[in-house]
Chains A and B, each alone.
Chain A
């Protein structure tokens, strides 16, 4: 592939949209429907569907929707009555933190974002970061692909609302750029014009088309810092009878399901200002916090979905700070670092969070620290 998509039109094209469950459900649906409806203008039949296993979606848990367009109904049949295409031509990630890997309800184990993308296919990411910054956080490529970066941050909304910040139209423009043989730009613009009656939306399609940066990724590019989580599915003769699953013993965490790919931000703890009040430990819905020998509470990042409740309930200002997930490469726990070299840890905390390691501010914290307030 050069900077343009393969010119030879095959029998069909499959686009997947990887998104944050609930928050981006409507966004993903609009993109997938847009692909089918835009291709229809060239006379092609298509289908759009959400991966059944992702439902019911959970906040932030990675999910997928698909659009398949084919030259005719017969060709389309191979893509019908499926849960999930095993190979896709284009992967769209509508939140750049998803490039760290995806662990969904519908799978077992974390998978690289490019896993189902065919060799020479395209991975489109909406991001304000550069292509190189994104590749640095993406699993080491095992096949060549083209990374396409659509300018713009992640578009989040809730279950019942949709915030149309034109991410859908910019992504449609990017799709017209990488797959013009299926989605001619003029057809996409015509569709959006008809649907929105808004020239601003049409302009966003054009902007997405023009501003999307393409970057070839060669095998071996990317990080090997992410954990490889694989899971063997047992057969009926090896499975325990009676639908019995080994439960986790007290203190043990699930080795098969880690949850952290649901995270867009992670909590970072200032152990110097922590008053050991237990609130984070108590209120964490995923029981992420472990008590350290010093009586502090540290986050087990493999289990943390980044919901931010700990930061909300913490009574000490800036003791727990939520930080963009793409700033981190590993899930290592950090309390040991603080314990062995407090100065170094605090400098890292300040650089990472942008918050200075200040003395305790609240009365409670001051009292707990024996302060003079």
Chain B
């Protein structure tokens, strides 16, 4: 059974602290009163390990902290802990995430609300620490909810949202929050840390109901099945993912009411789009240099804005279509690759194109692959992205509806 909530020496006022994205996640673990977390070190996720261990050592957090013998065991531990009624946290990065892949797949299949972070990191080889989204994106079809954070504050906020959404009985699916390696995981930013009372008001206790694996509730979970069963089980996951959109919307509204943060839309964060003709579309920290570029371009008289995607899964198709059909051209920036995909575009690019396909009026979509391996998005790159998107908006088909690599040496 879940560990009883103990009174903790938490100041009952909201504080502002200078925290890395990882430390902000650790604060969320404390505030959510997580019962079990499983850890295995890999950069950049391991920042959470260290921060959580410090909170425990300092007597500020009470959590069963299990250091596993590898990522596969790490994810299996929390899956099982979740099945017996524990609120859990786990995380990894890059190829560590991949080493856990079997456990990651079965967690979604089993509908267990595991909350994870994926500290986004390039996949080996070559060994690299910088951010790329292909680790998180590898699970995009499996039933994991995948939000991406832009700031340390959003990391904490999304984590609190994550337990609420994942554990909601209408959803009951795992969530992996994408945190860009280094830029977010290892950079300290000012973060408002809410009070325990506010978090309690927002986040109900974890309750698996009649799915709780307990001797008093004899059930079998995850039996072997044949073709007579699997499709119905997949269809249930599909229904849960569809319902997640509404549950996220509810949670977002409650979050705004209780904490006063979160923006207008649960799924999209729009910047200077009111009169925009051209927008950039992307997720994670690349929004920051692009906003810098937008302000510079606006000074030159260009009507340009940004639409940042906050939840990649479930993909907010309706909201995305509603937003993007307002513009002439959209430059989708992927911090990922999908070798051999249509137009050799990134994952996001092809998702956006697919969402827009059935619209009578749709913008020209240009794809950009940028910032791989944690390469910084510098202003000349942002300028190139703008120029090509602008050209596409003017009807230059040599740049539109295709994909370009930006900031790569020839």
Interface set of A (CB-CB < 8 Å, partner B): 52-53, 83, 105-106, 108, 233-236, 239-249
Listed in ascending order, the chain B residues whose CB lies under 8 Å from chain A are 109-112, 172, 210-211, 218-223, 225-229, 231-233, 235-236, 239-240
Cβ distance B233 to chain A, nearest Cβ, rounded Å: 6
Residue of B nearest to A231 (CB): B228
| Chain A residue nearest in CB terms to B239 | A236
Is A243 within 8 A of B227, CB to CB? no
CB distance from B86 to the nearest CB of A (A): 15
Q: Can you sample 11 A-B contacts with CB below 8 Å?
A: A236-B239, A239-B232, A241-B111, A241-B172, A241-B240, A242-B211, A243-B111, A243-B225, A244-B219, A244-B221, A245-B221
CB-CB nearest in chain A for B217: A247
Residue in A closest to B112 when the chains form the complex, CB atoms: A242
Compute how far the CA of A121 lies from the CA of B225 in the bound complex, rounded to whole angstroms: 32
A244 and B220: CB pair below 8 A? yes
- Shortest distance from the beta carbon of A49 to any chain B beta carbon, whole Å: 14
Q: List residues of chain B with CB within 8 A of the CB of A52.
A: 226
Q: 13 new A-B pairs (CB below 8 Å) besides A242-B112, A242-B221?
A: A52-B226, A53-B226, A233-B228, A233-B229, A236-B239, A240-B211, A241-B211, A243-B223, A243-B233, A245-B219, A245-B223, A246-B219, A247-B218
> Do B221 and A249 touch across chains, with their CB atoms under 8 A apart?
no
Point out the residues of chain B lying under 8 angstroms from A243, CB to CB: 109-111, 221-223, 225, 233
Bound together, the chains give a CA A233 to CA B229 distance in angstroms of: 8
Q: How distant is the Cα of A235 from the Cα of B219 in the complex, in angstroms?
A: 19
**Which residues of chain B come closer than 8 Å to A233, judged between CB atoms?**
228-229
Q: How far is the CA of A223 from the CA of B218 in the complex (A)?
A: 38
CB pair B221–A236 under 8 Å, yes or no, is no
Are A247 and B236 in contact, CB atoms less than 8 angstroms apart?
no
Most central of A240, A242, A243 by chain B CB within 10 Å? A242
| Option from B110, B229, B231, B239 in Cβ contact (under 8 Å) with A242 | B110
- Closest Cβ–Cβ distance, residue B405 to chain A (whole Å): 42
Q: How far is the CA of A260 from the CA of B58 in the complex (A)?
A: 61
| C-alpha spacing A105/B228, complex, angstroms | 12
The residues of B that contact A106 with a CB separation of less than 8 Å are 226
Within the assembled complex, what's the spacing in Å between the Cα atoms of A248 and B223? 14
Contact B218 A236 (CB under 8 A): no
**Minimum CB–CB distance for B251 against chain A, Å:** 20
Please give me the 8 A-B residue pairs with the lowest Cβ-Cβ distance, nearest first. Answer: A247-B218, A236-B232, A242-B111, A236-B235, A245-B220, A53-B226, A247-B220, A242-B211
Q: Write out the residue numbers on chain A whose beta carbons fall within 8 Å of the beta carbon of B225.
A: 243
CB contact under 8 A between A239 and B233, given known A244-B220, A245-B219, A245-B223: yes
Contact between B236 and A239 (Cβ–Cβ < 8 Å)?
yes
**Minimum C-beta distance from A40 to chain B (A):** 30
Which residues from chain B contact A239 at a C-beta distance below 8 Å? 232-233, 236
Contact between chains at B236 and A236 (CB < 8 Å)? yes
Q: Which chain B residue lies CB-closest to A233?
A: B228
- Which residues on the B side are within 8 Å of A83 (C-beta)? 227
Of the candidates B109, B172, B221, the one having the most CB atoms from chain A within 10 angstroms of its own CB is B221
CA distance A83 to B226 in the complex (A): 11
Known: A241-B111, A242-B111, A242-B221. A235 touches B232 (CB 8 A): yes
Q: How far is the CA of A245 from the CA of B227 in the complex (A)?
A: 17
Q: Does B227 lie within 8 Å of A53, measured CB to CB?
A: yes
In angstroms, Cα B109 to Cα A241, docked, is: 10
Please tell me if the beta carbons of A242 and B172 are within 8 angstroms of each other in the complex. Answer: yes
Contacts of A245 in B (CB 8 A): 219-221, 223
The chain B residue sitting closest to A105, CB to CB, is: B226
- Of chain A, the residue at the smallest CB distance from B106 is A243
Residues of B within 8 A of A242 (CB): 110-112, 172, 211, 221
How many Å from the CB of B263 to the closest CB on chain A?
31
Chain B residue at smallest Cβ distance from A54: B226
Residues of A near B172 (CB, < 8 A) are 241-242
Q: Which residue of A lies closest to B83 (CB)?
A: A242
* List of B residues within 8 angstroms of A53 by Cβ: 226-227
Tell me the nearest residue of chain B to A249, going by C-beta.
Answer: B218
Distance A197 CA – B326 CA, assembled complex (angstroms):
80
Closest CB-CB distance, B380 to chain A, in whole Å? Answer: 51
Neighbouring A residues of B220 by C-beta, 8 Å = 244-247
Q: State A249–B216 Cα separation when bound (angstroms).
A: 10
The answer for the CA separation of A240 and B208 in the assembled complex, in Å, is 13
Measured CB to CB, the nearest residue on chain A to B218 is A247
CA distance A246 to B109 in the complex (A): 18
Given contacts A241-B211, A242-B112, contact A234 B232 (CB under 8 A): yes
User: From residue A6, how far is it (CB to closest CB) to chain B in Å?
Assistant: 32
Complex CA–CA separation, A244 to B232 (angstroms): 13
Cα(A235)–Cα(B225), bound, Å: 14
Residues of A contacting B226 in the complex (Cβ-Cβ under 8 angstroms): 52-53, 105-106
Chain B, Cβ-Cβ closest to A243: B222
Whole-angstrom CA separation of A53 from B226 in the bound complex: 7
A246 to chain B: which residues have CB within 8 Å? Answer: 218-220
* Contacts A83-B227, A241-B172; A247 near B219 (Cβ below 8 A): yes
Which of B210, B211, B236: most chain A Cβ within 10 A? B236
Bound: A249/B227 CA distance, A: 27
Query: How far is B227's CA from A105's CA once the two chains are assembled, in angstroms?
Result: 12
Q: Give min CB distance, B238 to chain A, whole Å.
A: 9
By beta carbon, the residue of chain A nearest B234 is A236
Residues of B close to A108: CB separation below 8 A: 228
Question: For B218, what are the chain A residues with a Cβ–Cβ distance below 8 Å?
Answer: 246-249
Least distance between A243 CB and chain B CB atoms (Å): 5
Report A-chain residues with C-beta under 8 Å of the C-beta of B239. 236
With a cutoff of 8 Å between Cβ atoms, the chain B residues found around residue A244 in the complex are 210-211, 219-221
The answer for the CA separation of A243 and B112 in the assembled complex, in Å, is 10
Q: Chain A residues near B235 (CB, 8 Å)?
A: 236
Distance between A248 CB and nearest chain B CB, rounded to angstroms: 7
CA distance A249 to B112 in the complex (A): 24
Per the bound structure, the CA–CA distance linking A69 and B220 in Å amounts to 42
Neighbouring A residues of B222 by C-beta, 8 Å = 243
By a CB distance below 8 angstroms, the chain B residues around A249 are 218
CB distance from B212 to the nearest CB of A (A): 10
For A56, the closest partner residue in chain B by CB is: B224
Q: Chain B's nearest CB lies how many Å from the CB of A251?
A: 12
| CB-based nearest B residue for A106 | B226
Complex CA distance for A245 and B229, rounded to whole angstroms: 12
Considering the chains assembled together, what is the distance between the CA atoms of A235 and B228 in angstroms? 10
Chain A residues near B110 (CB, 8 Å)?
242-243
| A70 and B102 alpha carbons, distance in the complex (Å) | 42
Nearest CB of A to B102, in Å: 16
Nearest to B232 among chain A residues (CB) is A236
| Residues on the B chain within 8 Å of A248, using CB | 218
Q: Are B232 and A241 in contact (CB under 8 A)?
A: no
- Output the nearest chain A residue to B237 by Cβ-Cβ distance: A241
Assembly CA distance A244 to B236 (angstroms): 12
> Least Cβ distance of B114 to chain A in Å?
13
Residue of B nearest to A246 (CB): B219
